[in-house]
Chains A and B, each alone.
Chain A
Amino acid sequence: EPEVTQTPSHQVTQMGQEVILRCVPISNHLYFYWYRQILGQKVEFLVSFYNNEISEKSEIFDDQFSVERPDGSNFTLKIRSTKLEDSAMYFCASYLEGGDEQYFGPGTRLTVT
């Protein structure tokens, strides 16, 4: 069964450093998303991406965040200057138009020290 993959599974970084989280969505999906889950809290929407542009973003997704689809397969989330409060599980998801559900990847655990 096709699946969304994410790398790395765990990223440790120092405050103020830039990180790039990578995702490979399911190949024929055209809608892509990033969500995050801070430990003990809800899964929160960050951003959705369609047709090479952001279709919606949350209040969390400020100027420190950016997304990119650099080629036909990868979808990345960049955090320019990480803060302690960015520590969370980051989930990528993709969606096939006409389908029922968003498919989630296994997540990247980001730890900011």
Chain B
Amino acid sequence: DQQVKQNSPSLSVQEGRISILNCDYTNSMFDYFLWYKKYPAEGPTFLISISSIKDKNEDGRFTVFLNKSAKHLSLHIVPSQPGDSAVYFCAASWGYGNKLVFGAGTILRVKS
């Protein structure tokens, strides 16, 4: 099941710079997309979401961009901080409250 793909297993960024995490999806029925962050031995923690009727959503240092024609979304973190180092999961669903389909995750390392 490759409906949601995160093709970069890891990303290393210098503190203060921008982190860009990418996600692609194949199922055009998805209409809601989320980003979760996960630390070791913890459950996923919600970061930010976007509905398919929007192309951008911003929350503090975090911005998610959605390109429906390319079936692509990205998470921008500006500025990156060492505490942002974690695994970032992209997830998609058909509507709110329905099952989430996850990508494989991207390990982000922010170096100080």
Contact = CB atoms under 8 A, between A and B. Distances in A.
Interface of A: 4, 6, 31, 33, 35, 41-45, 48, 56, 58, 91, 93, 95, 97-107
A107 B99 contact: no
Contacts of A95: 96-97
Contacts of B34: 100-101
Interface string B72-108: 0000000000000000010100001111111111000
B104 A103 contact: no
18 contacts: A31-B97, A33-B99, A35-B100, A42-B103, A43-B102, A45-B99, A45-B101, A56-B99, A58-B99, A91-B44, A100-B34, A101-B46, A102-B46, A102-B97, A102-B100, A104-B43, A105-B43, A107-B42
Contact of A100 (B42, B46, B99): B46
Given A43-B44, A102-B97, A106-B41, 10 more contacts: A41-B104, A43-B89, A44-B102, A45-B99, A48-B98, A58-B99, A99-B97, A101-B46, A102-B100, A106-B43
Given A42-B104, A42-B105, A43-B89, A100 B44 contact: no
Interface in B7-32: none
